[in-house]
Structure 1
Amino acid sequence: MRILQTRDTMSDIYLAAVKIRNQVFVKEQNVPLSVEIDENEAYAVHFVLYDDKKVPLATVRLLPINDEIVKVQRMAVLKEYRGKGLGKTLLKGAEDFAREHDFKEITLGAQWQVRDFYHKLGFIPQGEPFYEAGIKHITMTKKLAE
């Protein structure tokens, strides 16, 4: 397994991320493409987890909110690869990147049905549930440094 990252929205890494997101969010969850691809694409760091044969399996993006907080967005694992720890591996890689770039906190809007996944990885629920793209979410945060 290997995680690659990019900020270049013309790169093969970014295109692999979009392909995974399209499969998971647009096709499986019926999120409109106009919501899935947004104005923050060029500001985010896009991560893709590849298998040993260089097949892209999972993706996530990090969007800096300010100098101390970064937001996890668009976390997606292809259906046939779920339950194998890939999401955990990918999220750890994104967290390591955030720490290396001196972010102090990481936040995300977890889809309701996977909030326990994030909680087991140290994310704490914040506030009330909300709906985004017709899907129930909860804000969750994790301190990266004191």
Structure 2
Amino acid sequence: MWSCKSMSFLEISFQSRWYAQACVLRNQVLRLPLGLDLQSEDLSPESEYLHFGIEQDGQLIACVLAVPLDSRRAKLRQMAVSGECQGQGIGRRLVESVEDCLVQQGFQVVELDARREAIGFYEKLGYIPKGDEFISVTIPHQRMTKVIAAD
């Protein structure tokens, strides 16, 4: 896809070394701050998901899951960017690269459940809030959608 300043976009295989790094990153950024632990969750359904990330110098610095919902819709889940890399446009690059991959695979719509503090980030990328705010993993979230390809 793209590579910049020794950063590369990756499609990650389930149970690969990159997947193991993604689990650590997701746990550090998303779960542990909430008093939760990804290691206590059943991750076996993730074998059916699409996994993506950005690596820099052999370390995964950002990751996200894409869950196929049907032949045209996918849901992004558990996007994480390492703390020292946040605010540098890496999350935007990751989402845009994932959207390109999903379009190539025939997906037309992406949805996600954004944490309240991330709503503005996703709105800048063209995602539109749908429905009311709700609580998930103990914090407020907003369902958002984006059309990434026409019929």
Task: Tell me if TM exceeds 0.5.
Answer: yes
Partner of 2:78: 74
Report if the CA contact (8 A) 2:34-2:138 is conserved.
no
What is the CA-CA distance between 1:27 and the residue it aligns to? 2.0
> Stretches of 4+ moved more than 6 A in 1?
none
The answer to which of 26-35 and 68-77 deviates more is: 26-35
Distance 1:79 1:70, change over 3 A: same
Q: Secondary structure at the match of 1:128?
A: coil
Distance 1:36 1:84, change over 3 A: farther
What is the CA-CA distance between 1:32 and the residue it aligns to? 3.9
Give me the whole-angstrom Cα distance separating, in 2, the residues matched to 1:9 and 1:114: 26
Structure 1 position 5 matched with structure 2 position 11: yes
What is the CA-CA distance between 1:37 and the residue it aligns to? 5.1
Aligned counterpart in structure 1 of residue 54 of structure 2, from 46, 49, 52: 49
- Identity between Structure 1 and Structure 2 (%): 32
Deviation string, structure 1 residues 47-81 (Cα, Å, up to 9, x no partner): 12011x12210110100000010000010011111
Give the number of equivalent residue pairs: 144
CA RMSD of aligned residues (A): 1.5
Deviation string, structure 1 residues 107-140 (Cα, Å, up to 9, x no partner): 0000011100000000000000011110110000
Structure 1 position 21 matched with structure 2 position 26: yes
Superposition pairs for residues 1-146 of structure 1, below 5 Å? 1-6=7-12, 8-33=13-38, 38-51=43-56, 53-146=57-150
What is the CA-CA distance between 1:29 and the residue it aligns to? 3.1
Unmatched tracts of structure 2, length 5 or more: 1-6
Distance 1:106 1:28, change over 3 A: same
